[in-house]
Amino acid sequence: MLKALNLENINKSYGAIKALRNINLTISDGEFFSLLGPSGSGKTTCLKVIAGFEAPDEGGVVIFDQEVTNIPPFKRQVNTVFQDYALFPHMNVRQNVGYSLKVQKLKGPSIEKSIDEILEVVNLTGYDLRKPSELSGGQRQRVALARALVNKPKILLLDEPLGALDLKLREKMQIELKNIQRQFKITFIYVTHDQQEALSMSDRIAVFNDGMIEQVDTPANIYSKPINSFVADFIGTTSIFDKASAMKLFNLDKAFSVRPENALIFDTEKDLVSIDKNEYFLANGTVLDCQFQGSHLKITFSIEANCKLSVYKSLEGNINQKYDVNSKHIIAWKKSDITSLNE
Amino acid sequence: MNNLLDSFSNFAFRNKNFIFLSFLIIPLLWLGVVYLGSLLIFLGHSFFHLDGFTGQIVYEFSFKTLLELFSSPANIDILIRTVVLAACVTIGSAIIGFPIAYYMAKFTSPKVKIFLFIAIMLPLWSSYLVRVYSWKLILAKEGIINWFFEKLHLEWLLDSILSTPVIGGPSLSISYIGMFLVFTYIWLPFMILPIQASLERVPNSLINASHDLGANKRQTFYKVILPLALPGVIAGSIFTFSLTLGDYIIPYIIGTSKFFIGQAVYTHQGTAGNIPLAAAFSLVPILVMIVYIYCAKRMGAFDAL
């Protein structure tokens, strides 16, 4: 498989703050790859290093087998969609989109044709003469995308491109981005702090924390086999039993996590007959909170002093189900459904 | 009583214009009546004329004075001389001021920036006359610049510069070159500060975006940074251009015997008592500025605002 990008042991500090620590990453050609992490975890710095806006203190950047660590951004075959879109306010849509072609001193009808084509791809035909200030947030986002794509980059970098859009628009753009990536067959490197977005769009995800990469894997594996408690906690909703609780309650020598959809709620001991007790872990819990979430209830139980457990209960059949706060229940989950964690 | 105050405060809260008006009435009267009013009355005098025999102002509407201004070659010389010098000073200030403003806006730490702000403003805190007179000494034949050229055995260079026709003169302190230097020094802060403010507002992500899209540093400067800083350059040039057009002290101290608009106005309204001609001279800088701003707008200098 052709390698689109190789980061070799990248380190980057801003004064005393270590923004990136020993980042090693290999991304294949045509992949939709997400850099996921909380704010300040180094994912945007990593993107800047790839684009060339920041030079790493140590380490190398290789794009399609070409060492580019000391090559300025305007000589890299990489384009960026910026978080704030960074559209040139004094240029109209057409001039913005055509900027990269114009600075290459390309001339003739092929430029105009490329611009028309890309504007059609992002559904902005007819907006050519508008200034960025005359566009909505979603339209600006499309201009930024068209501007980055018109030059047919080998890698497209996207820095939280949908962060400023409302939920509906964001979901629509997620699908469009994915379609565009399939259509253009180029590598997308996508920075986001939204784990839902990363899970739904990516081929692979790198989870960033505190300047380091915690785990690199497919969305399914990141979700079902988180490598440590940070990843387990950051991706989706999960309940973590630390080492002490695991030992005390279940006689396990390792911390573990349980996804809320994997746990079942029983009102009394008698109801447990429907399951094979040997295959399940059981715990007594007191309801702390019960939230209605449309398709299901999210119930948070207190198991013991420092141990909480969230459970999703499907509302199928009875939409008016409720769990009273402080009522006591038995929670059960399959032994095979837990994820052991290295803390 | 309380009730009345209460309903008054309710009324004031609901009628925002009332509040604005009550705060603005004094400044508006000042600007409208005292400032603009007296200016218009003065400029209106250019449509009156001086009676050649009695030396009295004839208060009748006519274009005699304006015709006199634009038909006399001596007057035309004064106008051209002033406008050309003002243009040169403006271009000079922009060329010197832009890099300083750019450095301040994009490359300094906050502490250095404050230091530079003070350094730029500091000369403005001392007397204008003192500064011009110190320049007179600096530029004089016995001054430091001459001394410096002598020590380097480069008097011939200075002499050959000074022997250039039109812009030269007996010494730097009595030449257009000297006037250009002093004007540029005096008005430079008025050029740097607006450019700095406009560059400060250009987000770094735009510069990154330009590089990202394949533009090198030169292209980025000409296609992104300069167009976005242009309103600041124009604002600065409005200051330097109009201040030079109207100044009469520097031409008086540094200049040659040839008049500039400011000196012409000063002489005509003073000793000669020819207020109409003085008013006509004053009209010219205003017209030049209107044309200048109109052209700047047509060329899209304010599009990025």
Chain segment A128-145, per-residue pLDDT in tens = 999 999 999 889 999 999
Predicted confidence at residue B305, as pLDDT, reads 58
Average pLDDT over residues A157-167: 89
* CATH code of the domain containing A210: 3.40.50.300
* Whether A88 and B209 lie within 8 Å, measured CB to CB: yes
> Are A59 and A125 in a shared domain?
yes
Please tell me the CATH superfamily of domain B64-298, with its number.
MetI-like (1.10.3720.10)
> Where does the pLDDT of residue B100 fall: very low under 50, low under 70, confident under 90, or very high at 90 and above?
very high
> Are A245 and A195 in a shared domain?
no
Neighbours of B248 (CB within 10 A): 17
- Identify whether the C-beta of residue A246 lies closer than 8 Å to the C-beta of residue A303: no
Preferred mutation among B109, B213, B216 to probe A, highest tally of A CBs within 10 A = B213
How far apart CA A307 and CA A302 sit, in angstroms, is 6
Residues of chain B with CATH 1.10.3720.10: 64-298
> Are A11 and A47 in a shared domain?
yes
DSSP H or E segment with residue A290: strand A280-292
Query: Is beta strand A187-192 parallel, antiparallel or unpaired with respect to A32-36?
Result: parallel
Predicted confidence at residue A89, as pLDDT, reads 92
Average pLDDT over residues A319-332: 88
Q: How far is CA B36 from CA B26, B59, B264, B280, in A?
A: 14, 21, 22, 17
Query: Is beta strand A328-334 parallel, antiparallel or unpaired with respect to A280-292?
Result: antiparallel
> Are A214 and A245 in a shared domain?
no
* Whether A99 and B223 lie within 8 Å, measured CB to CB: yes
pLDDT in tens, B142-156: 889 999 999 999 888
pLDDT score of A13 more than 90: yes
> Are A167 and A206 in a shared domain?
yes
Average pLDDT over residues B121-139: 91
Task: Tell me the residue range of the domain where A129 lies.
Answer: 3-234
Question: Does residue B212 belong to the interface with chain A, where contact is any CB pair within 8 Å?
Answer: yes
Preferred mutation among A44, A68, A90, A158 to probe B, highest tally of B CBs within 10 A = A90
- Average pLDDT of the residues of chain B: 90
> Are A124 and A101 in a shared domain?
yes
pLDDT in tens, B170-188: 888 888 999 999 999 999 9
User: Closest approach of chain B CAs to the CA of A193, in angstroms?
Assistant: 20
B124: amino acid identity, one letter: L
* Whether A73 and B215 lie within 8 Å, measured CB to CB: no
Predicted confidence at residue B15, as pLDDT, reads 83
- Average pLDDT of the residues of chain A: 90
pLDDT score of A265 more than 70: yes
B264: amino acid identity, one letter: A
pLDDT score of A118 more than 90: yes
* Whether A79 and B203 lie within 8 Å, measured CB to CB: no
> Are A279 and A135 in a shared domain?
no
Question: Does residue B222 belong to the interface with chain A, where contact is any CB pair within 8 Å?
Answer: no
Predicted confidence at residue A155, as pLDDT, reads 93
For residue B212, list chain A residues with Cβ-Cβ distance below 8 A: 51-53, 73-74, 78-80, 148
Buried b / exposed e over A200-218, threshold 16 CB at 10 Å, is ebbbbbbbbbebbbbbbbe
Predicted confidence at residue B1, as pLDDT, reads 67
Average pLDDT over residues B238-248: 92
pLDDT score of B260 more than 70: yes
> Are A217 and A265 in a shared domain?
no
Predicted confidence at residue B54, as pLDDT, reads 80
Highest mean pLDDT among A283-297, A303-317, B289-303: A283-297
- Identify whether the C-beta of residue A136 lies closer than 8 Å to the C-beta of residue A164: no
> Are A95 and A108 in a shared domain?
yes
Q: What are phi and psi of A25, to 5 degrees?
A: -155, 135
pLDDT in tens, A18-52: 999 999 999 999 999 999 999 989 999 999 999 99
* Whether A82 and B208 lie within 8 Å, measured CB to CB: yes
B205: amino acid identity, one letter: S
Residue A307 pairs with which residues in a beta bridge? A304
> Are A135 and A41 in a shared domain?
yes
User: Closest approach of chain A CAs to the CA of B221, in angstroms?
Assistant: 12
* Whether B212 and A151 lie within 8 Å, measured CB to CB: no
pLDDT score of B65 more than 90: no
* CATH code of the domain containing A327: 2.40.50.100
* Whether B205 and A79 lie within 8 Å, measured CB to CB: no
Q: How far is CA A29 from CA A26, A263, B64, B134, B270, in A?
A: 10, 39, 81, 69, 82
How far apart CA B213 and CA A88 sit, in angstroms, is 12
Domain count, chain A: 2
Predicted confidence at residue B195, as pLDDT, reads 95
Residue at a domain's end among A178, A208, A234 = A234
pTM of the full structure = 0.81
pLDDT in tens, A273-305: 888 888 899 899 999 999 998 889 999 999 887
Residue, of A306 and A144, whose pLDDT is higher: A144
Predicted confidence at residue A205, as pLDDT, reads 95
Predicted confidence at residue B304, as pLDDT, reads 60
Predicted confidence at residue B240, as pLDDT, reads 94
> Where does the pLDDT of residue B272 fall: very low under 50, low under 70, confident under 90, or very high at 90 and above?
confident
> Are A30 and A116 in a shared domain?
yes
- Identify whether the C-beta of residue A155 lies closer than 8 Å to the C-beta of residue A4: yes
* Whether B213 and A99 lie within 8 Å, measured CB to CB: yes
Q: Confirm whether the ipTM is greater than 0.95.
A: no
CA atoms within 13 A of residue B106's CA, in its CB half-sphere: 20
For residue A84, list chain B residues with Cβ-Cβ distance below 8 A: 203, 205
